[in-house]
Amino acid sequence: MWELVARSLEASTIFLFAALGELIDQRSGVLNVGLEGLMLFGGTAAFITAQTTGSHALGFLAGLALGGLLGLGHGFFSITLRGDQVVSGMGLWILSFGLTTYLGSPYTGPLGLGRIPSLWGLSPFFPLGVALVAITWLLLFRTGLGLAIRSAGENPAAAEASGIPVTSIRFLCVTLGGMLAGLSGATYTLSYNPVWNYNFLMGWGFVSLALVFFSMWNPWILLAGASLFGIMWQLSLSPELILPGVLSRYVWRTVPFAITIPILCIISTPWFRTRWGLAKPEALGRPYAKG
């Protein structure tokens, strides 16, 4: 039982890292729908680096670096050029999907390094995730920088007028967000499931993106949502633990995705949106033109 819980929590850290990065992005007003692409690239870079150098640490660094770099690229397009953020995000995703399939395929198979040591069977990434949630919450709601980030996402013109460098703040956030997405991908390929195969994420990134909307942009609610989805994901992989012999295992695999849709609907109802509207960054997805 503990094993299942520990494994679920490890799965949830992958959702959590990526979604936390996206949350910081969105709080500053930048929407990155290419989250899955950043994770694919981060995960593949981490896997290839770790396998060639034999070092987990270098792998994680590669994942972080590439994630940050791609986040920066998204920032260049959406902040500097004020392009359509959805076009850029979707572009990043398809670019990653295509290139990682090609670059990773010679490495198809297990990582072949020792497992990352666990604490009483629990992956060390879960406590790291909880710590990151606490840090993000403190950063966003208890520091001047956090106030600057939130105001850049709510009303960039007013923020700029009060002396906040909106462009730099947004660049900082997309880079941080990209690094966290890269970390999430690296955690997947180096720890959770250290095997590279074609399109290994199969929708984790999009579920993480949905989680940010569910969280009402609050890191603590995000933690709860990610944990819930981690458990659900793990159960969908081994349904025999609760309902042995009921339905095909393939049908169970659809459950986490199928549940996401009604939740998305509920949070979009006018009844819910009266609450939601208050939390959604006002300037989300809108480019900011100084002047």
Q: Does 101 bind another protein (CB under 8 A)?
A: yes
Q: Does 117 bind another protein (CB under 8 A)?
A: no
Helix (H, G, I), strand (E, B) or coil at 110: strand
| Rounded least distance, CB 95 to another protein, Å | 4
Q: Does 52 bind another protein (CB under 8 A)?
A: no
One of 135, 246, 258, 279 touching another protein (CB under 8 A): 258
Q: Does 72 bind another protein (CB under 8 A)?
A: no
Q: Which is nearer to another protein, 158 or 261 (CB)?
A: 261
| Rounded least distance, CB 80 to another protein, Å | 8
Q: Does 274 bind another protein (CB under 8 A)?
A: no
Beta carbons within 10 angstroms of residue 59's beta carbon = 28
Beta carbons within 10 angstroms of residue 291's beta carbon = 4
- Range in contact with another protein (rule: CB under 8 A) among 130-138, 154-162, 171-179, 204-212: 204-212
Q: Does 77 bind another protein (CB under 8 A)?
A: yes
- CA torsion through residues 92, 98, 103, 106, sign: positive
Closest CA to 152 of 171, 126, 133: 171
Placement of tokens 């849709």 in the chain = 261
One of 61, 65, 137, 206 touching another protein (CB under 8 A): 206
Q: Does 260 bind another protein (CB under 8 A)?
A: yes
| Rounded least distance, CB 177 to another protein, Å | 17
- Range in contact with another protein (rule: CB under 8 A) among 18-26, 131-139, 157-165, 194-202: 194-202
Residue 119 is classified by DSSP as: B
Q: Does 96 bind another protein (CB under 8 A)?
A: yes
One of 125, 171, 213, 233 touching another protein (CB under 8 A): 213
Question: Distances in Å between the alpha carbon of 133 and those of 50, 124, 200, 237, 244?
Answer: 27, 15, 26, 27, 36
Q: Does 78 bind another protein (CB under 8 A)?
A: no
Q: Does 196 bind another protein (CB under 8 A)?
A: no
Closest CA to 267 of 204, 206, 217, 205: 217
Query: What span, in angstroms and rounded, lies between the C-alpha atoms of 105 and 89?
Result: 24
Query: What span, in angstroms and rounded, lies between the C-alpha atoms of 25 and 114?
Result: 34
One of 209, 223, 231, 235 touching another protein (CB under 8 A): 209
Contacting residues for 23 by C-beta, under 8 A, at least 6 apart: 136, 212, 215, 217, 219, 222
Helix (H, G, I), strand (E, B) or coil at 61: helix
Q: Which residues lie near another protein (CB under 8 A)? A: 33, 77, 81, 83, 86-88, 90-91, 94-99, 101-103, 105-106, 108, 198-199, 202-203, 206-207, 209-210, 213, 248-251, 253-254, 257-258, 260-261, 264-265, 268-269
